[in-house]
Amino acid sequence: MPVKVLIVDDSGFFRHRIEEMLRDDPRLQVVGTAVNGKEAVEQVKRLKPDVVTMDVEMPQMNGIEAVRIIMREAPTNVLMLSSLTHEGARVTLQALEAGAADYLPKDIRAWMDKNSGVRSQLIDRLVALGRTRRFRQSSAFERSYPGREQKGTTMVFRPDETPPVRPSRTSPAPATRSSTTMSSADMRRSPSAPAQPSASGDSATTLASRVKFPDCKLVVIGASTGGPAALQKVLTQLPANYPYPVLLVQHMPKTFTQVFAERLNQQCQIRVKEAEDGDRLVPGQALLAPGGLQMMLDPRQKDRVRILVGDERMTYKPSVDVTYASAAKTFGNKVLGVILTGMGSDGCDGARLLKQAGSAMWAQNRESCTIYGMPQAVVNAGLADAILELDDIGPLLAQRGSR
């Protein structure tokens, strides 16, 4: 069945242009339009679309408030459309925090140009978001602290363990991997498994002891679709005295990365800033790769980053692959790579280089991802040392950093 799309925009031009872009793709079906946030909420409840395109600035009710109500009353994946201005970036990040899944810049020149690539970007995002369905179960950390919202199951790779047998309706043959997997539930069923999680937090400690964490000098985190909210959730768990420097690569345009870094810096105990050429690696500080450029480590001064234009043929600017590869070359087996939610496979090639150098890789699990693309590529390539629920990643990083 095609993905059902609701178009929300007070501009007749943009409503018509979006509908025109989607009209000939059999994977998508426009089921309705709305001209303001209030009407959008009503249409979502009545039409039950799979995904909504949402303008930010509209009369009666703006896009941010509409997203908040939709997420509360009729949860639906929302793709925000916003300008490339500083203010546009700020309100878009507010919409993502309110529950929107992703965004696209709303540059009228690009949207009028049939050769700009906007149509393919829009369709790819709508198809991916429209087909995303997340069913969550509680994770080890969530079960350790009763009363918190239940989330997905954390999976841990253990090369020295026997793979658990998992019942399935279709009973497919188990996938062969370079490492084996064990879930929190499997740990409890195994005769040698730790005791049931309790409110004391013992199970969280046990989980931490089972996840590979290298003799670390650097943490590198990559993300794309759904990344802003995921990064916020992870980084706000880290203490101000976190002992490692952190590099962040989030697929974003230039204006957005500057605003995003400022916002994270306000929310986190660690310092967060948009990286500049020559910035030092400092414990307790995260450097966010600037949009449109590549972030690498300086081969002559290992404690500094270089911000470069990079190869024009690269699809992603910034690219997780580029930063992972540079970290592997500079720090060898002293890196922890983390790959979070996102479309595509950026990060997989770089993860392979990190693993070849002896470093560790963590991947976000399917259940907690907005889009299980980038983590899936790493997992399917057999490069992940652990597949983790998003809510577990920050506490695990913080717990390891306190040792």
pLDDT surpassing 70 at residue 393: yes
- Give residue 151's pLDDT: 43
- Give residue 294's pLDDT: 97
Give the type of residue at 88: G
CA 335 to chain centroid:
20
pLDDT surpassing 50 at residue 376: yes
pLDDT surpassing 60 at residue 93: yes
In tens, the pLDDT along 167-194 reads: 333 333 333 333 333 333 333 333 333 2
What mean pLDDT is predicted for residues 309-314?
80
pLDDT surpassing 50 at residue 200: no
Catalytic residue status for 224: yes
Looking at the DSSP assignment, which residues form a beta bridge with residue 401? none
In tens, the pLDDT along 156-166 reads: 543 333 333 33
Query: Is beta strand 386-388 parallel, antiparallel or unpaired with respect to 155-157?
Result: antiparallel
Catalytic residue status for 16: no
- Give residue 304's pLDDT: 97
Query: Is beta strand 28-34 parallel, antiparallel or unpaired with respect to 3-8?
Result: parallel
Cβ neighbours of residue 376 closer than 8 Å, sequence gap 6 or more: 366
Nearest to 224 by CA among 348, 312, 392: 348
**What three-state secondary structure class fits 303?**
coil
Catalytic residue status for 107: no
- Written as six digits, the tokens of 260 are 């995003």
Query: Is beta strand 155-157 parallel, antiparallel or unpaired with respect to 181-183?
Result: antiparallel
Distance between CA atoms of residues 31 and 7, nearest Å: 8
In tens, the pLDDT along 219-272 reads: 999 999 999 999 999 999 999 999 999 999 999 988 899 999 999 999 999 999
**Domains of the chain, first to last:** 3-130 (3.40.50.2300), 140-401 (3.40.50.180)
- Give residue 207's pLDDT: 66
| Mean pLDDT for all residues in the chain | 83
Cα dihedral 141, 146, 151, 155, rounded to 10, equals 30
- Written as six digits, the tokens of 311 are 């190869």
What mean pLDDT is predicted for residues 137-146?
38
Which phi and psi angles does 342 have, rounded to 5°?
A: 165, 155
In tens, the pLDDT along 101-113 reads: 999 888 777 777 7
Distance between CA atoms of residues 349 and 354, nearest Å: 9
- Give residue 213's pLDDT: 74
- Give residue 110's pLDDT: 73
- Written as six digits, the tokens of 207 are 């989980």
Cβ neighbours of residue 12 closer than 8 Å, sequence gap 6 or more: none
What mean pLDDT is predicted for residues 304-333?
93
Query: Is beta strand 305-308 parallel, antiparallel or unpaired with respect to 335-339?
Result: unpaired
Catalytic residue among 82, 138, 203, 224: 224
Distance between CA atoms of residues 164 and 185, nearest Å: 10
% of the chain with per-residue pLDDT over 70: 80
In tens, the pLDDT along 70-87 reads: 999 999 999 999 887 788
pLDDT bucket at 314, cuts 50 / 70 / 90: confident
Catalytic residue among 10, 186, 346, 391: 346
- Give residue 310's pLDDT: 76
What mean pLDDT is predicted for residues 372-387?
96
* Single pTM value for the model: 0.81
Catalytic residue among 251, 345, 391, 392: 251
Distance between CA atoms of residues 230 and 227, nearest Å: 5
Are 6 and 129 in contact by the 8 Å Cβ rule? The answer is no
Cβ neighbours of residue 242 closer than 8 Å, sequence gap 6 or more: 269, 270, 283, 284, 398, 401
